[in-house]
Structure 1
């Protein structure tokens, strides 16, 4: 059993913007603290033997300039790597390119604070339709998987993760995640009614439940 409410409350979510050379981009940021030292969290996030235990199989060269591929998901290029505190990479999926930055820092109690920022050019129409939850829910699921791995050393296979996502518990996790991303969107200045409508569409997409 997973304490869904605890896992949702453990994450901080932020929606914002960043100016890149190609123009203004949207950002979603997730952060949470893990009861593990920085070196262990870094190894879990960068070791190709451990990544499949909480995320999915990965291939390629996990080094600056190398390319990686998460099987069945995104791939990209490692642009920067500063062990054990940060790395940055492109996130290429569906013919589109965005960027991720991961930062690790020790907290006062011996744990590790992980911050992940996803930067993407998203057109206004698509943003209005689904909002930040379209990618934010996936990152919440990633943080959940990492917590399970760091806590137990084990993890879920992609098949087990998919089955859990279809369960009542997994669907509740998605619904709560979508709700929190809606709140972050409103806090960032989005129109409340539009943000809630976008969140409802995103929840329906992830849970395959038609909108009421």
Structure 2
């Protein structure tokens, strides 16, 4: 299982930008973790909805329904190698790309979440946000209680990132 320190993620400055990575693991089979990442009825419980083509090159609208004011954003599926790899592009001004890689290691399924931001981007708030969503994903996969609301999460977890609920 993922240790508490690993839950904070890793931020690396690279010449091409700022890389954020989270590593999470579960004793569940890779197919179950993949289903939680991709099946509509499970996605909605931890992150949101995707309406559109579910194939490589397909595009649609992704809505993070757990946000304060959910807004649908254009998304394109760049790679999909079930049940191992999913790469999506948010077709927004920032041009986000998120890579989700699953591997089986020592009887566990390991998720490596990777996002690359433009050089010089201040990403602390993004790191906190993804940490919260990945905790929600952990609850979906592991059938455990989900983290509380954002304010409670920020009060409990924000200090590890140098943030408080007043920041």
Once the two structures are superposed, the pairs formed by residues 3-14 of structure 1 within 5 Å of their partners are 8-11=4-7, 13-14=9-10
Once the two structures are superposed, the pairs formed by residues 163-202 of structure 1 within 5 Å of their partners are 164-167=149-152, 170-176=154-160, 178=161, 199=162
| Structure 2: gaps spanning 5 or more residues | 64-69
CA distance in 1, matches of 2:140, 2:22: 18
CA distance in 2, matches of 1:8, 1:102: 20
Q: Which has the higher helix share?
A: 1
Q: In 2, are the aligned partners of 1:25 and 1:119 still within 8 Å (CA)? A: yes
- Which structure 1 residue ranges, 4+ long, deviate > 6 Å from structure 2? none
Deviation at 1:116, TM superposition (A): 0.7
Deviation at 1:61, TM superposition (A): 2.0
CA distance in 2, matches of 1:27, 1:16: 5
CA distance in 1, matches of 2:123, 2:159: 14
CA distance in 2, matches of 1:26, 1:141: 20
| Structure 1: gaps spanning 5 or more residues | 1-5, 179-198
CA displacement, residues 135-183 of structure 1 (integer Å, 9 cap, x when unaligned): 1111111110111111228x76xxxx7x62223x55212333x2xxxxx
CA displacement, residues 84-139 of structure 1 (integer Å, 9 cap, x when unaligned): 1111111244x22121111000121x2210001101214x3xx3xxx332211111
Give 2:136's aligned residue. 145
CA displacement, residues 64-94 of structure 1 (integer Å, 9 cap, x when unaligned): 111233322554211011111111111244x
Give 1:85's aligned residue. 84
Instruction: State the superposition RMSD in angstroms.
Output: 2.6
Number of equivalences: 159
Q: What SS does structure 2 have at the residue aligned with 1:96?
A: coil
Computing the radius of gyration from Cα coordinates, the structure with the larger value is: 1
Give 2:113's aligned residue. 116
Give 1:40's aligned residue. 32
